[in-house]
With several copies, the nearest count.
Chain A
């Protein structure tokens, strides 16, 4: 079972958790990751964040990534939600939830999904700071985080 949503609306962690938890009575572990707009990006505080994506392509990339996770680990359910549009500091941006029998599967799959979301999914962030707008540069550390899953013998 997997759910992928790209939306401008906020999401409700409690509701997403409940859905994962109730998928099966064999669920023994649920890991959630929530990403939030931080108040500091480099120096100075940000006023807002604007998230653009490539409709259609993003969904198919996420389907592929989630499919890989289900092949690689023993998972009962996964949920990926990514917001687009205008966001403010402390707003929720991204949610990954994984339900499994054993904790290692849920932890690893959630990290894998986040690493791929950061480095492969077609989202772009623009930040408004001190009255100026600027596209965020991608981080080498995110590419490195995603690459480790290629070589790991997990």
Chain B
């Protein structure tokens, strides 16, 4: 199983989204979410949104190992 995390404004769109799922890439997660959560999937397709696996920024086609933590990160606004 893959653990899913949504930060910043993406969290508002991810209400009711499962916290885990089976998937082989972050891109596949986005595709799978599109069926039940089209607004969230649209947000995830914004080019500024980054994806991390186990707290490292990766490409959307990164192969996911069992037990990975995938986080979706909108543009940061700290400081």
Interface band, chain B: 10 to 19
A124 touching B77, Cβ below 8 Å: yes
Given known A121-B78, A121-B79, A125-B77, contact A135–B55 (CB-CB < 8 A): no
Interface band, chain A: 20 to 34
Tell me which of A60, A82, A137 contacts B78 (CB under 8 A).
A82
Given known A54-B5, A124-B8, contact A94–B78 (CB-CB < 8 A): yes
Determine if A108 is an interface residue (Cβ-Cβ < 8 Å).
Answer: no
With most chain A CB atoms within 10 A of its CB, the pick from B52, B71, B75, B76 is B76
A136 to B9, CA, bound (A): 9
B55 touching A94, Cβ below 8 Å: no
Tell me which of B12, B55, B79 contacts A54 (CB under 8 A).
B55
Residue of A nearest to B74 (CB): A124
With most chain A CB atoms within 10 A of its CB, the pick from B7, B11, B71 is B7
Given known A52-B7, A54-B5, A122-B7, contact A117–B78 (CB-CB < 8 A): yes
29 example contacts (A-B, Cβ-Cβ < 8 A) are as follows: A51-B78, A52-B7, A52-B11, A53-B78, A54-B5, A54-B55, A93-B79, A94-B78, A114-B79, A117-B78, A117-B79, A118-B76, A118-B77, A118-B78, A119-B76, A120-B76, A122-B76, A122-B78, A123-B78, A123-B79, A124-B8, A124-B9, A124-B76, A124-B78, A135-B8, A135-B74, A137-B77, A138-B75, A138-B76
- B residues lining the A interface (CB < 8 Å): 5, 7-9, 11-12, 48, 52, 55, 71, 73-79
- Can you add 17 more A-B contacts, CB < 8 Å, to A57-B71, A114-B79, A118-B76? A51-B78, A52-B11, A54-B5, A54-B7, A54-B52, A60-B55, A82-B79, A117-B78, A118-B79, A121-B78, A123-B77, A123-B79, A124-B9, A124-B74, A124-B76, A124-B77, A137-B77
